Structure formats: C-alpha cells, structure tokens
Amino acid sequence: MELLIELVVVVLLFGGTFFFTTATLGLLRFPDLFTRLHATGKGDTLGIGLILTGLAIYIGPSPITVKIVLVLTFILLTSPVGTHCICRAVYNQGIKPWEKEVSK
C-alpha cells in the first residue's frame, strides 16, 4: 500500500511539473498577451493543483493537510478569475488580440 501511495504522489508531482513547464513554454513562445495569459493561467493552476494534491496525499491526515487544501481551494478560485480580469482590463484599454498567421 505504501508503494502505491508513493507512486501516486510521484505521478502527481511530475504531472504538476509538466504543466508548469508547458505553461512556461507558452509564456515564452506565444505571440501576444492574451494567449500568454491563457497558457500561464491554465497551466499554473493545474500544475499547482496537482503538486498540492500530491503533497496532501504524501503528508496524510494532519492539520498541515487542511492548510494545503485551503490554499489549493483559494488558488483554484482566484487564479482563473485574476487572469480573466487582467485580460479584460487590457482589452478594454484598446489592445486587440493578435490576428496574424503563424509563419511556417
């Protein structure tokens, strides 16, 4: 049973790291603010969700796990809303999304 729990924790931690990495690549490679914010907003939220879930499973039932779950809930509720508010504010300032074709 211990080996199964450790395997699940490792998979969750590597999954979170993968989504953090892809979000960083999206930030560096995408052409405009809107697509960059989309990549980082989605990737970072999912990445931190997987990592915190893995940590909560690894620690087991304790007061620290309750704190991890509260932090996870806060991040899952605020990160997408914050990203949306930033995009909307930028769009209302007159900055339009990128419309050019990607060169091959």
What ranges do the domains of the chain cover? 2-92
Structure confidence at residue 37 as a pLDDT band (50, 70, 90):
very high
- The pTM of the full predicted model, rounded to 2 decimals, is 0.87
Tokens 């999954």 found at: 15
Determine the pLDDT at residue 56.
95
Euclidean distance between CA atoms 103 and 64, whole angstroms: 49
Euclidean distance between CA atoms 10 and 2, whole angstroms: 12
To the nearest 10°, report the CA torsion of 67, 73, 79, 82. Answer: -100
pLDDT tens digit string along 41-86? 999 999 999 999 999 999 999 999 999 999 999 999 999 999 999 9
